[in-house]
Structure 1
Amino acid sequence: MLTDRLLIQVDASRVGFVRDQLDPTLSGLVISGPKALRKASELRNDDYAGVLIADPAFYEDGVATAREPYLSRTDELPAADPLGQAVQEQLAVGATAALTPTGYLRAGDTAAVRAAVREVSAREDPRIVLTLPIDVGWLRGDLVGRLIEELGVAPGMKAVMLGGQLDPLASFPESLTGLAQVLAQVPRTALLRADLAAFGALARGAVFAGYGLSGRFRHVVPPGEPAKSSGFADSPAVLFPELMALFLGKTLARRFAATHAPVCECAACGRRPLDSFPTNRDVRPAAQHNTAVLMSWQRTLQTMAIGPDRQRWWQERCRAAVNRYPLVNAAIRQPNGFKVQPQLLRWSLLDAAPSAPACAGPD
């Protein structure tokens, strides 16, 4: 049921923002955080029949080690079998699949990765997804080869989450190439807690992917580090479809103050201008807009054959967006009004591979 889906990753309080915008055949929900299990149970009791994952997100609070790759709740005594307990709890509330309670995987800690793989392999349960909250440093140099080697023996599905501040894939130039290597060489790998990379991953053969509704769910902040911010967010992040990037609603209102803003015709907006989300009172409609646009992209992606055709389509779409920036800036007479984000530029330059693995069949 998870195969080739774009899931929306959200906390329990905002599920209602996006539930009605999801395409039930192509999408689903990942609910993250301490209230994930309770909200998942409520949804099932409310007859929600879609794909649903409850992510306890223990990796936000602790680091995986070779002795303890899996974690228990920080407010409880350590469980004798944290993996078994987490799987049982998630499946009991109706989750489509269960994520392992893996701690944060520091770059280069091969022993911790190996321990997580060994323990989940012994379960032989196809409903378990090996969660891999890896520091983005794993995608650098020879570390990516070591990661691929360790994950190559893991059965079932694997869900990578990238750790780092702000946009981890903007941390160093080879990060995107490293991610593409993992997706190409480790069968049945997914990408969760992502942004634009969710689509890039699906284009590169990911078994499924998750797009974070808010910045918190588009990457993993390493445990013990305060989350860095690009600025005080007093308005929601709004997806500008032509530029394939998120901008604060107040930024869009300011940039288009002297001209007409582009009109969005997504399923949620109904010809609503993009500059009409200026304050945090607009969080719900902005979330609905973002989700509706993502669903339209997902439907288009699904018309492409898995492999080079899909990769070329994604690269061409990213290139078109990069080329659109100077045109939009010229129209608003602000040469540096909108700046191309590093990750978008890197996707536009990442050529299609000669071949890509087909997604595995439904579990």
Structure 2
Amino acid sequence: MLLQVGSRREARIRPWVDAAASGLVLTGKGALTKAVRLREAGFAAPLLVDEARYQLAYATEEAPFPGLDEGPTPLFGHDRLEELMTAHLALADAALTPTGYVAAGAADVLEAAAARVRRLGDPRVVFCAPVDAGWLYPGALERLAEVLRSVPGPVAVLVGGRPEPQAAAAGLARLLPQVPGAGVLRTGLGAFGALGLGAGFSAFGVDSSMRQVLPPETQSRPGGGPGSPSVLFAPLMNFYLGLTLATRFSGQAPECACECCRGGALDRFLDMAQQVPAAGHNACVLSGWARQSHALEVAERGPWWRGMCRSALERYPQWSQRVSHKQGFAVGAELPVWAQLPVPEGLPGRVRGAGRGVVR
């Protein structure tokens, strides 16, 4: 289970990455350059680069990799995709294809992208499929699985749009058994849920922008933003603004024993000046969960994660009673879904992967 982060914010969480159980997915503009600097600085944990071109443009049948496929045909028959993937592999443990956003029903587009990857024939290249959530419904899902299985190397799915958590989880629960070992990127609690469903690897977005994939025309515009950082409250397995936690606890916030906080109270993230320690806290909690998941056999991960989510749900009434605020704590939308995680039978003890240890 990797941590997915914008390339400009990796320094906030890098010190807390557990190289034995996790790693980084550097995302967006400048990610490849940042990967160069990280390796030069001695960063040895698993590392992937997601250029996130799906944020900028749709994939088309003629140009499934936006930007890469534009302009005149390269001289001497060079394949631009192969050149870019080679650049990634000089630094990363595997190379993620820069696929554009695949609209619902665009089967020819998806196939065109997969065909390019098949021609490369490099098992270190991960075919990334940033597909609209419409692909997760019956009929389309089977077609998606068919195309993904046609790629002999590793594949990864990014679910786009704004799907209902129940629909997204149900779709993954149907898709992953049909594509053994597939990865799931840019998600939230689904990063662990997917591993429980047999995914070969996954990535948890460390902030809200890294936990969603929006179609190019709906990219959010810069705005005022929140007045305090988002903080992962581990007992409830949910993110709350630092100011929300401070208001709820009224000076009686619990201490956090994570490696970053070292006993600090969770009501101290009061403004955006506390972004760095808040990000460190979040990374520490997620890395702890990653260590627990990594220590389990694949067949054990589903029951473990479902039990984690159910225990968190049971704690909501208790924690709401401990605070004076009448609203208590709102349950995260994903948590009830993964608390009912279907646990598939017959999962292997280990899942085949690719790269130098990123996928296990």
Q: 1:342 to 1:229 in 2, by over 3 A?
A: farther
Structure 2 counterpart of 1:17, from 3, 9, 12? 12
In the TM superposition, what whole-angstrom CA distance separates every residue of 1:233-291 from its partner, at most 9, and x where no partner exists?
2211110001101111111111112x511211011110111111111111100111011
Does the 8 A contact of 1:54 with 1:95 survive in 2?
A: yes
- Aligned residues with identical type, % of pairs: 39
Please give the secondary structure, in 1, of the residue aligned with 2:9.
Answer: helix
**1:202-221 equivalences in 2 (<5 Å):** 202-221=195-214
Does the 8 A contact of 1:86 with 1:101 survive in 2?
A: no
In the TM superposition, what whole-angstrom CA distance separates every residue of 1:157-204 from its partner, at most 9, and x where no partner exists?
111112124xx452xx33211112222210221111111111111122
2:23 corresponds to: 28
In the TM superposition, what whole-angstrom CA distance separates every residue of 1:11-47 from its partner, at most 9, and x where no partner exists?
2222211111111111111111111111111111112
Length, aligned pairs only: 350
Does the 8 A contact of 1:29 with 1:53 survive in 2?
A: yes
What's the TM-score, normalizing by structure 2?
0.91
2:154 corresponds to: 157
In the TM superposition, what whole-angstrom CA distance separates every residue of 1:320-361 from its partner, at most 9, and x where no partner exists?
111111111111144532111221111112231223244115
Deviation at 1:55, TM superposition (A): 1.6
1:117 corresponds to: 114
- Distance in 2 between the 1:47 and 1:315 partners? 36
Please give the secondary structure, in 1, of the residue aligned with 2:347.
Answer: coil
Please give the secondary structure, in 1, of the residue aligned with 2:24.
Answer: strand
The answer to whether 1:283 aligns with 2:275 is: yes
Deviation at 1:210, TM superposition (A): 1.0
**1:152-231 equivalences in 2 (<5 Å):** 152-165=149-162, 168-170=163-165, 173-227=166-220
Deviation at 1:88, TM superposition (A): 2.7
Structure 1 counterpart of 2:57, from 36, 40, 62? 62
1:246 corresponds to: 239
Structure 1 counterpart of 2:312, from 318, 321, 325? 321
Higher mean C-alpha deviation, range 226-235 or range 111-120: 226-235
Please give the secondary structure, in 1, of the residue aligned with 2:129.
Answer: strand
- Distance in 2 between the 1:7 and 1:343 partners? 19
Deviation at 1:228, TM superposition (A): 8.5
Structure 1 counterpart of 2:35, from 21, 30, 40? 40
- Distance in 2 between the 1:38 and 1:177 partners? 37
Amino acid at match of 1:323: E
Q: 1:336 to 1:141 in 2, by over 3 A?
A: farther
What's the TM-score, normalizing by structure 1?
0.90
Q: 1:255 to 1:79 in 2, by over 3 A?
A: farther
2:358 corresponds to: none
Amino acid at match of 2:167: E
Does the 8 A contact of 1:237 with 1:248 survive in 2?
A: yes
- Distance in 2 between the 1:137 and 1:314 partners? 26
Structure 1: stretches of 5+ with no match in the other structure:
1-5
2:83 corresponds to: 85
- Hey, which bits of structure 1, 4+ residues long, moved more than 4 A? 76-80, 228-231
Does the 8 A contact of 2:302 with 2:341 survive in 1?
A: no
Amino acid at match of 1:338: F
Does the 8 A contact of 1:183 with 1:205 survive in 2?
A: yes
1:271 corresponds to: 263
Q: 1:196 to 1:230 in 2, by over 3 A?
A: farther
Please give the secondary structure, in 2, of the residue aligned with 1:42.
Answer: helix
1:3 corresponds to: none
In the TM superposition, what whole-angstrom CA distance separates every residue of 1:62-100 from its partner, at most 9, and x where no partner exists?
1112222112269x84774442232133224x1211111
- Distance in 2 between the 1:211 and 1:230 partners? 24
The answer to whether 1:337 aligns with 2:328 is: yes
2:295 corresponds to: 303
- Distance in 2 between the 1:96 and 1:331 partners? 46
